[in-house]
Structure 1
Amino acid sequence: MKRIVLFVLTNLAIVLVLGIVANLLGVNRYLTANGLNLGALLGFALIMGFGGAFISLLISKPVAKWSAGVQIIEQPRNADEAWIVNTVRKFADQAGIGMPEVGIFEGEPNAFATGAFKNSALVAVSTGLLSNMTREEVEAVIGHEVAHIANGDMVTMTLIQGVMNTFVVFLSRVIGYAVDSFLRKGDQENSGPGIGYYVTTIVLDIVLGFLAAIIVAWFSRQREFRADAGAAQLMGRKQPMINALSRLGGLTPGELPKSVAAMGIAGGIGQLFSTHPPIEERIAALQAMR
């Protein structure tokens, strides 16, 4: 659960930092100088909301490399590395995307894909995954990650997060303005937003941010079902992906850095904030595929 919360806080932190910068630049005073300017506020919310989400997307790959300690395979040093690179290349060709960077990181069984663009993504697998799974199962996991890239999941999640951020920024400031106006009713001496506005917007940015994260996590869970199905299609059969998920169900998945947690093959067990469905549901969905 801690890993999921940290993932949520990454995007929220960017929005809060942008909000502080806006306060320092006097944007809030402009928005409320002559009553709340809803048009200007909506434009501000769009910039803030999508700005934070796209910043997260654009730095996703370098942050993932650094935070997970990914060693990029520039030139395969052994047969295993050569096999991993060739498997990624095979699936990338099938999916019609550019060859992603391929890397390995130390840790318990897990894997992830990330990157802002389909043709310049990253696929990374852990040493624990390689040592605890058969090659066919690892191949299915790699297919799952390539399917994430081919489906444009990183961009889709960014757009959803941007929309949620926009609503959070817009609603928190509208409510903040209403609260501040109520608290300062009859006060004609001061102009611009007061302490009630700032306190309310900060609190609501956090509270509404977590509510938005629940919605984003729901979309993420649906995306996992599609990536599982994509792996089955890339391999031409669904049993290897079922076997890989069954194997994961009996292992302890490795903890991924918050920046790439949602893109891992396995997620946490939380209900509302979980970015991944339960293993049993994923297996059942694959078994029901025709």
Structure 2
Amino acid sequence: MTRIFLLIITNLAVLLVASIVMSLLGVNTKSMGGLLVFAAIFGFSGSFISLFMSKWMAKRAMGCQVIDVPQNGQERWLVDTVARQAQQAGIAMPEVAVYDSPEMNAFATGPSKNNSLVAVSTGLLYGMSPDEVEAVLAHEVSHVANGDMVTLTLIQGVVNTFVIFAARLVAQAINTFVSSNDEDGEGLGTIAYMAVVFVLDIIFGILASFVVAYFSRIREYRADEGGARLAGKEKMIAALERLRMGPEAGSMPASMSAFGINGKRSIAELMMSHPPLEKRIEALRHQ
């Protein structure tokens, strides 16, 4: 819920600034056409800006140490393993990085298949066997090869557009209703209208996050399948089993958590960016 809340707050901040700018520019968002254009522009712009900045943001948010020149045998093994898997998957060599965290996790990010980053935590390196680490790396390389960063960005853009459009459409309907039942016929004032839009953005944003989480879970199964092809089915299952026995993931920021090998657990699966590990293991066993 913390990650969902932060994501919603970030989107709302963008929308609030966008609304003010559009008002100052005199852009009419009252008409259906104008409202839809407004929603699409700002619904997709935030998502694509986040995509293009994803590597830069990930490195700074997680304190990633990119391995430019391997300093020891472990770093050389990491780089060589990712290089081999990237060649098998038909993508350009991702940047490889390590970040300091006690939890066993890893993530992939970047604006395209040929401009990506694969990072692993120190907790994963020391808590897993080489075969299990290899499977995790294969899972992340599969995310890149599947174009999951771009796919999820497009989905988020469509969802953002829906949230912006629906919130303002409903707010305008409420304003019309109030004005028709008001003696002055003025309807909601500017501040009241913006407050209604703000509340509706939150409500629709929460509902829309379920849609994004659903597609994220589907994408996770595909990355597991890709990891099994690149590293071996038994290695992928062993890695997921190790994660299942370990502590819950929780320190990764929302912008990267959807691309981690291990997601935060929740009572309600609808709110999870990753399927339960038990289901992922079962799906691999029945391939």
Closer, same or farther: CA 288–240 of 1 in aligned 2, 3 Å: same
* 1:146-189: CA deviation from partner (whole Å, max 9, x where unpaired): 00000000100011111111111111111111111222236778
How many Å apart are 1:84 and its aligned residue? 0.3
Closer, same or farther: CA 191–11 of 1 in aligned 2, 3 Å: closer
Select between 178-187 and 210-219 the one with higher mean Cα deviation.
Answer: 178-187
Closer, same or farther: CA 276–234 of 1 in aligned 2, 3 Å: same
- Asked if the contact 1:111–1:124 (Cα under 8 Å) also holds between the matched residues in 2, the reply is yes
How many angstroms apart in 1 are the aligned matches of 2:164 and 2:171? 10
Aligned pairs, number:
282
Q: 2:259 aligns with which of 258, 263, 269?
A: 263
Q: Does 2:201 correspond to 1:194?
A: no
Query: 3-state SS of the aligned residue for 2:37?
Result: helix
How many angstroms apart in 2 are the aligned matches of 1:247 and 1:18? 45
Q: 1:65 aligns with which of 53, 59, 62?
A: 59
Aligned CA-pair RMSD? 2.0
How many angstroms apart in 2 are the aligned matches of 1:38 and 1:226? 38
How many Å apart are 1:25 and its aligned residue? 3.6
- Structure 2 segments unaligned to the other structure (5+ residues): none
Closer, same or farther: CA 258–213 of 1 in aligned 2, 3 Å: same
Query: 3-state SS of the aligned residue for 1:264?
Result: coil
Question: TM-score, normalised on structure 2?
Answer: 0.92
How many angstroms apart in 2 are the aligned matches of 1:86 and 1:163? 38
- Structure 1 segments unaligned to the other structure (5+ residues): none
Question: TM-score, normalised on structure 1?
Answer: 0.91
How many angstroms apart in 1 are the aligned matches of 2:17 and 2:107? 27
Q: Does 2:227 correspond to 1:210?
A: no
Q: For CA contacts below 8 A with separation 6 or more, give which structure has more relative contact order.
A: 1
User: Deviation above 4 Å: which 4+ runs of structure 1?
Assistant: 186-193
How many angstroms apart in 2 are the aligned matches of 1:243 and 1:283? 9
* 1:266-286: CA deviation from partner (whole Å, max 9, x where unpaired): 101122221001000000000
How many angstroms apart in 1 are the aligned matches of 2:57 and 2:207? 26
How many angstroms apart in 2 are the aligned matches of 1:196 and 1:181? 13
